[in-house]
Amino acid sequence: MPGAFADAVRKGAMALGAAAALIALPAHAVEPYASSPAAQPSGRWREASLDDYRSHLQTLSSLVEACAKARDLTHCDPMLVGPDDRIPVGSGAHAGRRLVRYGWLRVLFSRAEEADEPATEHASGSKTGPAQSNAQPIEPTTTQLLLLARERLARDFAQAGIAAASSPAYPAERTTMQQVLAGPDFRNLQEPTVSDSMMEKLSSWLNRLFQSAATLRSRSPWVGRALVWGFILMVCVGLVYALLQLERRWRLHLTPETGSPATPAAPARNWQHWLDEARRFAAAGQWRGAIHCVYWASIARLESKRLWPADRARTPREYLALVAPDDPRKSGLAQLTRCFERTWYGGQPAGESDYHRAESLATTLMQGLAGHANGGAE
Judged against a pLDDT cut of 60, whether residue 237 lies above it is answered with: yes
Which of 241, 211, 237, 235 shows the shortest CA–CA distance to 224?
211
Task: Answer with the residue of higher pLDDT: 117 or 12.
Answer: 117
Residue 152: the pLDDT is 93
Q: Give the pLDDT score at 120.
A: 56
Rounded to the nearest angstrom, the gap between the alpha carbon of residue 241 and the centroid of all alpha carbons in its chain is: 34
Percent of the chain whose pLDDT exceeds 90: 19
For residues 304 and 271, is the Cβ–Cβ distance under 8 A?
A: yes
Q: CA 281 to CA 321: how far, in whole Å? A: 29
- Give residue 214's identity as a one-letter amino acid code: A
- Helix, coil or strand: residue 115: coil
Confidence (pLDDT) at 231: 87
Reference 299, options 288, 289, 309; nearest CA is 309
Q: Hey, how many other C-beta atoms are within 10 angstroms of the C-beta on 155?
A: 13
**Cα–Cα dist 55/37, whole Å:** 24
Tell me: pLDDT of 351 over 70.
yes
In this structure, the number of other CB atoms found within 10 A of the CB of residue 11 comes to: 10
CB 329 within 8 A of CB 361: no
Taking the whole predicted model, whether its pTM rises above 0.85 is answered as: no
pLDDT level of residue 254 (50, 70, 90 thresholds): very low
Q: Is 103 exposed, middle or buried (0-12, 13-18, 19+ CB in 10 A)?
A: middle
> Has residue 321 got a pLDDT over 80?
yes
| Model confidence at 339: pLDDT above 60 | yes
CATH 1.10.3470 at 271-377, yes or no: no
Among 284, 285, 293, 279, smallest CA distance to 352 is for: 285
Amino acid 168: pLDDT: 62
Q: In what helix (H) or strand (E) does residue 113 lie, and over which residues does it extend?
A: none
Task: Please check the confidence at residue 289 and state whether its pLDDT lies above 70.
Answer: yes
Q: Domain-by-domain residue ranges, the chain?
A: 2-118+139-164, 271-377
- Rounded to whole angstroms, the Cα distance separating 60 from 154 reads 10
Measured distance CA(103)–CA(85) in Å, rounded: 11
Question: Exposed e or buried b for every residue in 229-254, given b needs 16+ CB within 10 A?
Answer: eeeeeeeeeeeeeeeeeeeeeeeeeb
Q: Is the pLDDT of residue 69 over 80?
A: yes
SS3 30: helix
Phi, psi of 336 (to 5 degrees): -65, -35
Instruction: State pLDDT tens for residues 134-188.
Output: 666 788 898 899 899 999 999 999 888 776 555 566 788 888 888 888 888 887 7
Contacting residues for 325 by C-beta, under 8 A, at least 6 apart: none
Torsion sign over Cα 259, 298, 328, 377: positive
